[in-house]
Structure 1
Amino acid sequence: MRRLGTFLSDAWALAAPYWRSEERGRAWLLLGVVIVLNLALVGMNVLLSYWNREFFNSLQDKDAAAFWALLLWWRQTESGPMPGFILIAVVYILIAVYALYLRQALQIRWRAWMTRELLDRWLADRAYYRVALTDPGTDNPDQRVAEDLRLFVDSTLTLGLGLMRSVVTLFSFILVLWALSGPLALLGIEIPGYMVWVALLYAVLGTLLAHAIGKPLIRLNFHQERVEADFRFALMRFRENVEGIALYRGEAGEKRGLFTRFHALMDNWWSIMVATKRLTFFTAGYTQVAIVFPFIVAAPRFFSGAIPLGGLTQTADAFGQVQGALSWIVDNYAALTEWRATVLRLTGFRAAIATARAAQGGVAAAPEARPDLALEGVTLALPDGRVLLEGAAATIGPGEAVLVTGPSGSGKSTLFRAIAGIWPFGAGRVRVPAGARVMFLPQRPYLPLGTLRHALCYPRDAAEVPEAEVLAALAEAGLGHLAPRLDEEGAWDRQLSGGEQQRVALARALLVKPDWLFLDEATASLDPEAEARFYTLLKERLPGATLVSIAHRPAVAQYHGRALRFREGRLVKADPAPQPGEG
């Protein structure tokens, strides 16, 4: 019971913010209309139970006039005016259609709000980066944002409205069933409304047995979400790296990896199939018995003449409605296990984001009203605790050009991450000029989805950058031949060579015009002439900018006034020319 309470508390914590948000007015209005329509459907079912009684009584009495009146228009009955089936059907269909339509409208609005809110949390304070480094158990965040949110909103509305309808149906039909079933004498004791108690006993026993049989599905559904996402992520990685795989002729290894993940998916699916088979054996039998059970229980009163045929069918229908309402958990057990798995995954994801955002430690990068950049007691470590750099202190002034050198793996790129304020392992402080435009160019530039124009202007909004500036930057970066394709969408990270991608990064820098530019092997894919042109352009177009470069080519040193070198876990001043054996 405690675990159930915790689960419901987690589900409420996920759902409640939307209903208190800036959209709460429209959300509550939509929900209210959907609830009213669902209650109207319950009312229509109650009306149909009375119509059903009168219709079957007309058949028993061979009353043709009553038969056609109940089908086509209306008839005065003991229960009052009874509309014809055609009118009831038309109204029922209209209510059912708009109940579904408006529920879907509420669903997409709720999902959109939750998606924005979760993305805001994930992207704020670079939590997405810290989660990826510090919490590998939080797998496949893309699936949690795209798929788990969709399932949560859909399941919450479907199950919540279904439960409400079951409760209203129970109270609506329990009175009908109580009046129709009459008393039952058992061991000298008269039991009023005996069919109500029979339905209650039948549903309680069914619910307990369904939980006992279907409990393993909770764990299996949770795991299935993970292995499905792992397999999908592996396929996505394959798609993104087709050229590298082809060059290495790594098809056999990729196939083994894909099938390993798929077999994990398949093995868990077989376990779900077995558990579902056991549950379905029970639920299918439970449902089939429920069809004839009320007729068996009510048959003695019918054969004794206490009720007519219409009364028997109405009694059976009312019993089925009460039993169905009481059996809501049995009928929705599989859906409930999937919903619980979704809640657990979303709750875990939100907790990982909160932990990442609240985490202390690492190198503190603080903007200050000063012109230079200073490293104070900076220590860099890896996630496994190995120290790369210890107690580093250095100052870089505005307008300087500094080369960072050192053996591969010594921590140069990690130092850039610490300066950017995203590296959580280590200690110390980086003081950066407040208000300065800072830009980092990694060896492999990030090219976002969308048009080439969007990739060039990133992270700025392409609509805000004048056409002339874009074309000029493109030409200066040596990509003028791509000008006709500026508004073409494509997989630019695969269509452009490594050198062309680095030229895109150069064009970006020319468009952003940063005050501080950090280049991490940003020219490694360019030929010497293009590399020289790259740095010359930066010097010409960004004359006041500070350049800090990581590079192994000796020729790069000529564009820098001094160097900082990683040596045995220390950061020391050095000649700009790389030391022999570096790289």
Structure 2
Amino acid sequence: MFEPNGAADRGRRLFRRYWASASGFWKGRSARVSWPLTLGLVAIASAQLTVQYLLNYWNRDFFNALERRDAVALWHQLALFLPLAALSVSLSVTSVWGRMTTQRKWREWLTQHLLGRWLDKDRYQRLGSVDGSHQNAEYRISFDARIATDAPVDMGIGLFNAFMTAIVFINVLGSVGGSYTLTLAGHAVTIPGYLVFAVIAYTLLFTGGMAFVGRNLTAVIQAENQAEAELRAATNAIRELGERTPPASVELEELVGVRDALAQVLRRWRQLCFQLMGTTGVSQTDILLAPVTAWMLCAPKFLAGEMTLGELTQASAAFVSVQVAFNWFVDNYHRVAEWRSSVNRVATLLHALDDADQAPPDDDAAAAASSGARDPGRRADADALPGDA
């Protein structure tokens, strides 16, 4: 994602720390739950791909029957479609159950792990003595741990589907599209499997465009999440004043802290808006152009009588399937960036908890941390992005 070397190295270190803890879900007692769920998701995704492949050939046969005006064949194709449609819907419903169950179990395991680390040996009391941007541990344990476990399950299934879809439907493109001959400077040039080369070139164009346009998205999301956490901490400080016995009055310091935190949230939200405008422009252009590009590539052979209407629709559907598979990165760029941001925040907390074992309890540091929680504007400035001045 075009990160500087220092940022990339830091990201790798944080991911290794996150994965050292999060991968424990597939070890020990929890493995009896995690591995059957994981293998079940793979089996469901494979079955869904098989149905998609069968529907691709059904699409060809249906439009060929339509072109021939063959009523008997059309009714036969309708009879074949109904069980395929029912199976596709059933697998989709089952996939939702498997996916969300895996996410729930993994989140439960990671949250309990983080809580255990946070509370064990009174580390929560020692965090104020540890340097680093690990504020708002409760937000990281609740919000970021959810994204850090939800997103990789979705993305893992998506990547597996994308990989298998690309393999299956590249073969379809090669067999249905065949070769294409064009004349250049008076010479006939034959391109074997021209639709395969076309879909690869098309995908590289949009993937490169998305990587360039969204190169700062991870940092922007991370800063926005931190600003939201600071605003929550500032408002919690006022709530705690009201819950005292007797209740304490809200001082100017608390009000200024909330206003500064809100201003920071709105600034980060504006930055996120501009980033998403750019990435949305790339992804929507991709979605609109993909089927049109496929039709235009197949049209010359169809008009020359070298491709039937059914083969044209089959090739077009296969082109879009391969394009979607290859463009998984483009379609999920925002989700990947959001996941990386949460992983970094969880890993930062884990590093701080590691360091807390060497830090003695420090009442002054704890008081300073409490003061920092009530003045979020100061900590938010420390997380400012380059060029935010």
**Aligned-pair CA distance for 1:13:** 2.8
2:42 alignment counterpart? 35
2:334 alignment counterpart? 334
**Aligned-pair CA distance for 1:9:** 3.8
1:101 alignment counterpart? 97
Pair 1:56–1:155, CA change in 2 (3 A) = same
Listed as ranges, the matches of 1:142-181 within 5 Å are: 142-181=138-177
1:273 alignment counterpart? 273
Which of 6, 23, 26 is 1:16 aligned to?
23
1:122 alignment counterpart? 118
Listed as ranges, the matches of 1:492-503 within 5 Å are: none
Mapped contact 1:169–1:325 kept (Cα < 8 A)? yes
Q: Give TM-score, length-normalised by structure 1.
A: 0.58
Q: Secondary structure at the match of 2:140?
A: helix
Greater relative CO, 1 or 2 (CA 8 Å, sep 6+): 2
Q: Deviations over 1:451-475 (max 9, x none)?
A: xxxxxxxxxxxxxxxxxxxxxxxxx
Pair 1:15–1:192, CA change in 2 (3 A) = farther
Q: Return the letter of the residue paired with 1:119.
A: L
Mapped contact 2:242–2:249 kept (Cα < 8 A)? no
For 2:216 and 2:124, locate their aligned partners in 1 and report how far apart those are by CA, in whole Å.
32
**Aligned-pair CA distance for 1:184:** 2.1
Q: Secondary structure at the match of 2:307?
A: coil
For 1:9 and 1:203, locate their aligned partners in 2 and report how far apart those are by CA, in whole Å.
30
1:242 alignment counterpart? 242
**Aligned-pair CA distance for 1:322:** 0.8
1:354 alignment counterpart? 354
1:377 alignment counterpart? none
1:447 alignment counterpart? none
Larger Rg: 1
Greater shift, 49-58 or 231-240, is seen at 231-240
Q: Secondary structure at the match of 1:23?
A: helix
Q: Deviations over 1:187-208 (max 9, x none)?
A: 4432211110111111112111
May I ask how many residue pairs the two structures share in their alignment? 356
Q: Return the letter of the residue paired with 2:288.
A: Q
Q: Deviations over 1:346-376 (max 9, x none)?
A: 111101100111x16x48xxxxxxxxxxxxx
Q: Give TM-score, length-normalised by structure 2.
A: 0.85
For 1:58 and 1:352, locate their aligned partners in 2 and report how far apart those are by CA, in whole Å.
66
Mapped contact 1:44–1:92 kept (Cα < 8 A)? yes
Pair 1:381–1:195, CA change in 2 (3 A) = closer
Q: Secondary structure at the match of 1:306?
A: coil
Q: Return the letter of the residue paired with 1:155.
A: A
**Aligned-pair CA distance for 1:8:** 5.5
For 1:308 and 1:21, locate their aligned partners in 2 and report how far apart those are by CA, in whole Å.
57
Pair 1:199–1:127, CA change in 2 (3 A) = same
**Aligned-pair CA distance for 1:249:** 5.2
For 2:356 and 2:236, locate their aligned partners in 1 and report how far apart those are by CA, in whole Å.
26
Q: Secondary structure at the match of 2:172?
A: helix
1:325 aligns with 2:325: yes
Identity %: 29
Mapped contact 2:220–2:272 kept (Cα < 8 A)? yes
Question: CA RMSD of the aligned region, Å?
Answer: 2.4
For 1:257 and 1:9, locate their aligned partners in 2 and report how far apart those are by CA, in whole Å.
35
**Aligned-pair CA distance for 1:126:** 1.3
1:57 aligns with 2:43: no
Pair 1:112–1:248, CA change in 2 (3 A) = closer
Mapped contact 1:140–1:229 kept (Cα < 8 A)? yes
2:106 alignment counterpart? 110
**Aligned-pair CA distance for 1:105:** 1.1
Which of 123, 128, 131 is 2:127 aligned to?
131
Listed as ranges, the matches of 1:68-107 within 5 Å are: 68-71=75-78, 73=79, 84-107=80-103
For 1:338 and 1:132, locate their aligned partners in 2 and report how far apart those are by CA, in whole Å.
27
For 1:86 and 1:23, locate their aligned partners in 2 and report how far apart those are by CA, in whole Å.
40
Q: Secondary structure at the match of 2:28?
A: coil
For 2:299 and 2:315, locate their aligned partners in 1 and report how far apart those are by CA, in whole Å.
10
Unaligned stretches of 5+ residues in structure 1: 74-83, 364-379, 385-412, 414-583
Pair 1:208–1:97, CA change in 2 (3 A) = same
Pair 1:383–1:262, CA change in 2 (3 A) = closer
Q: Deviations over 1:382-429 (max 9, x none)?
A: 559xxxxxxxxxxxxxxxxxxxxxxxxxxxx9xxxxxxxxxxxxxxxx
For 2:338 and 2:207, locate their aligned partners in 1 and report how far apart those are by CA, in whole Å.
17
Pair 1:271–1:92, CA change in 2 (3 A) = same
Pair 1:108–1:123, CA change in 2 (3 A) = same
Q: Return the letter of the residue paired with 1:138.
A: H
2:257 alignment counterpart? 257
1:290 alignment counterpart? 290
For 2:243 and 2:37, locate their aligned partners in 1 and report how far apart those are by CA, in whole Å.
50
**Aligned-pair CA distance for 1:255:** 4.1
Listed as ranges, the matches of 1:350-499 within 5 Å are: 350-357=350-357, 359=358, 362=360, 382-383=364-365
Which of 140, 144, 149 is 2:136 aligned to?
140
**Aligned-pair CA distance for 1:85:** 1.5
Q: Return the letter of the residue paired with 2:268.
A: N
1:219 alignment counterpart? 219
For 2:108 and 2:365, locate their aligned partners in 1 and report how far apart those are by CA, in whole Å.
35
